[in-house]
Amino acid sequence: MNPSARDSAPQRQSSQSGRILARLADLGLILPQPAIPVASYIPTRLVGGILYVSGQIPSVEGKLIAQGLVPRDVNLEKARECAVRCVLNALAAAHSTLTDRGGLDAIRSVVRVGCFVACESDFTQHPEVANGASDLLVSIFGDSGRHVRAAVGSSSLPRGAPVEVEVAFEVA
Amino acid sequence: MNPSARDSAPQRQSSQSGRILARLADLGLILPQPAIPVASYIPTRLVGGILYVSGQIPSVEGKLIAQGLVPRDVNLEKARECAVRCVLNALAAAHSTLTDRGGLDAIRSVVRVGCFVACESDFTQHPEVANGASDLLVSIFGDSGRHVRAAVGSSSLPRGAPVEVEVAFEVA
Amino acid sequence: MNPSARDSAPQRQSSQSGRILARLADLGLILPQPAIPVASYIPTRLVGGILYVSGQIPSVEGKLIAQGLVPRDVNLEKARECAVRCVLNALAAAHSTLTDRGGLDAIRSVVRVGCFVACESDFTQHPEVANGASDLLVSIFGDSGRHVRAAVGSSSLPRGAPVEVEVAFEVA
């Protein structure tokens, strides 16, 4: 991986650059570049030992991987994949913020996941969608990746995203 | 109450087992068994003196007490009862987590309640539903049960639940 | 401004009463009276250095400035104005709580904004609505006003509000 490529390349994650990045690589996952803030809000805020991360939508290099309601426009499997993508985007934001503390290795545990699913009134499988986020966090962080969660339906989400995920991490 | 009965019996709450459990009994309420986690998420997470509890749906022994939208399928009074049930489930999870610290007596205050109501676009009485949760917490904990709250509408909730309640407690 | 007028008058904000109130005045904004709690929940809760504020709707002296769905009943510009109003109401609640600590000057940073927009399934501009809240906080607090955010759609909100905003502040 070429460390001089900045804009579209994934973040550096050589084996020596951290335990959690190595774990991501084992899982076949590449940490994306953190999204550039487009408004007055910021990707993360660290207060009192908790790193709050802004709600993430399932975008790759600025483009959503799916759009619309679950399951009308986006099937369950794809929605689950969206939740995974949201978590990767949250991890990218966290890693970038925590650079001076060792990146993702500074995360002691995952505290909370909020998962919003854009859906109609007869949808009931919010937990199955949210499991995409939860299972990934446990795959990466082990027992300390286990977190509290609220999974709910939304009438719609920013840019037509099918899923939005908000994460709070405990930082060492 | 038979302390050897484990699976379906309510949690032990004899008068000597705690001030808050005694208060629940005074109110004619029985703390249910905590729900068994069915995914990578967990019922509670204690970080920095705050016990975060996962979003609860109004289930009794694994079955929802109502399903659908408020008020189309579930009337206001029943929705309010759902909010009460969600709080009892949250208390059960908290009590179970706090066993080594004296159970619910370790709770210093209630910090925040998030109340999601599954409803259509013309529903306006989210506060009346959420009051089921808020009033119960104040009945149990007194002034320290008073909390901040966000009550909002959802297009639908997990398993078709009419209400989902998320609680954060301050722990001594 | 007459300090003896209590019920409908804005909160006292003479130049000597604080840096942040002066900044509000510079922006042409007047801090409203805090809303009177109408239920078991309370406007704010201070725990572990974080001041949590209850979800605010865009009311002025108890009356909503708009009602219904965005954009069906309330256009984008008005929705953005609603988000501004919600933040002013949150600041009023915070100022009132923090009186003994110097009011709004006790706020070290804005931690998190949750913005709920009442809308239908084809709405995508939640961020544009939420920017009303975010931009105002940064105008008032500068860089320390920058926060994490989750902006999502709701099927409906209390009293028919088009927007609800929840804020958490870090307090010195």
Considering the domain boundaries, does residue A158 fall inside one? Answer: yes
Summary count for chain C: helices (H), strands (E): 3, 7
Concatenated DSSP letters for C2-58?
A: -TT--SSSPPP--GGG-HHHHHHHHTT--PPPPPPP-SSS-SEEEETTEEEEEEE--
From residue A10, alpha-carbon distances to A7, A54, A84, A97, A107 in Å are 8, 20, 16, 16, 20
From residue C45, alpha-carbon distances to B74, B160, C51 in Å are 32, 32, 6
Q: Distance between CA C155 and CA A155 in Å, rounded?
A: 5
Considering the domain boundaries, does residue A2 fall inside one? Answer: no
| Contact of B55 with B116, CB cutoff 8 Å | yes
Lowest mean pLDDT segment, chosen from A6-10, A28-32, C21-25: A6-10
Q: Assess A120–C contact: CB distance below 8 Å, yes or no.
A: yes
Side-chain-side CA neighbours of residue C8 (13 Å): 3
Q: Assess B71–C contact: CB distance below 8 Å, yes or no.
A: no
Is C33 or A113 the better-scoring residue by pLDDT? A113
- Confidence band (pLDDT; 50, 70, 90) for A39? confident
- Please report which residue ranges of C98-164 form alpha helices under DSSP H: 126-141
- Tell me the shortest Cα–Cα distance from C93 to chain B, in angstroms: 11
Considering the domain boundaries, does residue C4 fall inside one? Answer: no
In terms of residue numbers, what domain contains C126? 15-171
Which residues partner with A153 through β-bridges?
A: A117
| Contact of B157 with A153, CB cutoff 8 Å | yes
pLDDT tens, residue by residue, C61-115: 999 999 999 999 999 999 999 999 999 999 999 999 999 999 999 999 999 999 9
Q: Distance between CA B66 and CA B73 in Å, rounded?
A: 9
Q: Assess C137–A contact: CB distance below 8 Å, yes or no.
A: yes
Contacts of residue A28, defined as CB under 8 A and 6 or more positions apart, other chains included, come to none
Q: Distance between CA B161 and CA C9 in Å, rounded?
A: 43
Side-chain-side CA neighbours of residue B36 (13 Å): 7
Q: Which of C148, C156, C164, C165 to mutate to test the interface with A (most CBs of A within 10 A)?
A: C148
| Contact of B157 with B116, CB cutoff 8 Å | yes
From residue A66, alpha-carbon distances to A58, A83, A84, A91, A123 in Å are 8, 11, 13, 20, 18
Q: In this structure, how many other beta carbons lie within 10 angstroms of the beta carbon of residue A65?
A: 17
pTM for this entry: 0.91
Question: What is the distance of C-alpha A45 from the center of its chain?
Answer: 15
Residue A7 has pLDDT above 70, yes or no: no
Contact B145 C47 (CB under 8 A): no
- Tell me the shortest Cα–Cα distance from C83 to chain A, in angstroms: 14
Mean per-residue pLDDT of chain B: 90
Considering the domain boundaries, does residue C76 fall inside one? Answer: yes
Nearest to C37 by CA among C85, C92, C84: C92
Q: In this structure, how many other beta carbons lie within 10 angstroms of the beta carbon of residue C9?
A: 14
Q: How many structural domains comprise chain C?
A: 1
Considering the domain boundaries, does residue B4 fall inside one? Answer: no
Q: Distance between CA A38 and CA B157 in Å, rounded?
A: 30
Q: Give the model's pLDDT for residue C39.
A: 74
Q: Assess A154–B contact: CB distance below 8 Å, yes or no.
A: yes
Contact C130 A154 (CB under 8 A): no
Subunit partners of chain A (3 or more CB pairs within 8 A): B, C
In the numeric block, the tokens 């904990």 are attached to B141
CATH number at residue A93: 3.30.1330.40
Side-chain-side CA neighbours of residue C2 (13 Å): 6
Provide the residue count of chain A: 172
| Contact of C32 with C96, CB cutoff 8 Å | no
Mean pLDDT, residues A16-29: 88
| C130, C148, C153 ranked by CB distance to A53: nearest | C148
Q: What is the ipTM of this complex?
A: 0.90
Give the pair of three-digit tokens for residue C127: 């961020």
Q: Distance between CA B110 and CA C131 in Å, rounded?
A: 30
Q: Give the model's pLDDT for residue B8.
A: 43
Considering the domain boundaries, does residue A159 fall inside one? Answer: yes
From residue C130, alpha-carbon distances to B146, C81, C125, C137 in Å are 28, 10, 9, 11
Side-chain-side CA neighbours of residue C101 (13 Å): 15
Q: Which helix (H) or strand (E) holds C154?
A: strand C148-154
Residue A157 has pLDDT above 80, yes or no: yes
- Confidence band (pLDDT; 50, 70, 90) for B40? confident
Nearest to B32 by CA among B95, B110, B82, B114: B95
Nearest to A94 by CA among A110, A114, A81, A118: A110
Considering the domain boundaries, does residue B7 fall inside one? Answer: no
Mean per-residue pLDDT of chain C: 90
pLDDT tens, residue by residue, A71-117: 999 999 999 999 999 999 999 999 999 999 999 999 999 999 999 99
Find the closest chain C residue to A38 by CA distance.
Answer: C127
Query: Strands A63-64 and A59-60: what pairing?
Result: antiparallel
C57: which chain B residues are within 8 Å (Cβ-Cβ)? none
Q: How many CB pairs under 8 A join A and B?
A: 95
A160: which chain C residues are within 8 Å (Cβ-Cβ)? 122, 124
Give the pair of three-digit tokens for residue C48: 């572990």
B120: which chain C residues are within 8 Å (Cβ-Cβ)? 155-156
- Tell me the shortest Cα–Cα distance from B64 to chain C, in angstroms: 22
Is B151 or C18 the better-scoring residue by pLDDT? B151
